[in-house]
Copies of this chain bind each other. A is one copy, B any other.
């Protein structure tokens, strides 16, 4: 039964969840919130929805780049390099981004009579991103359920799943991870050095996937 909306960035995690739950997903929503890498990741979100025949919306949120503080944003500082869980990565937090994306998706879900909203936050996100932790997800699900007539729920099945295990799920589903985007710098090719690139390389390597992503030299 198609009863779900998914928040789809075009990265490894949400693309995996899109394929894993394709039978339940009626609508995928991507948000262009003015990050340096939105223009690189959203075309992959669109591509996978086309492959699966799932309706896809792109919602611009220009006020985030206007008023929020984060190195991830176009008007923000340089993206830090290093490991994904390093303290320096805190500058990449976009305050309450998942709260905003989930709330909009919940409103669209209720407008369409869809009872579930899925998001692909994962265990490796917890160190740096407070709006990826189980306590936040539980509270948002309570807010969604109590704040809608049809009691929309938030589902975040990878909250306690490591990146390597997400990649293994995708491997079984035959997902081509070269058709996903991770790099926060959003340049022509993945930089290979920022936290999310390092995490991507580690997971694909550990899973034994032939990584055909092009990285900067």
- A interface vs B, CB < 8 Å? 57, 59-60, 63-64, 67-70, 90, 93-100, 102-104, 106-111, 130-131, 133, 135-136, 139-140, 142-144, 146-149, 152
Contacts and interface: CB of A to CB of B under 8 A. Distances in A.
Contact of A131 (B63, B111, B148): B148
Copies of this chain assembled into the complex: 2
Contacts of A59: 63, 67
20 contacts: A57-B67, A67-B111, A68-B108, A90-B149, A95-B108, A96-B107, A99-B103, A99-B106, A100-B100, A100-B104, A130-B147, A131-B147, A133-B146, A133-B147, A135-B146, A136-B143, A136-B147, A139-B139, A139-B140, A139-B143
B67 A94 contact: no
B110 A96 contact: yes
Nearest to A33: B107
Q: Which 6 A-B pairs have the closest CB atoms?
A: A95-B110, A131-B147, A139-B142, A139-B143, A96-B107, A99-B103
Contact of A147 (B60, B70, B98, B142): B98
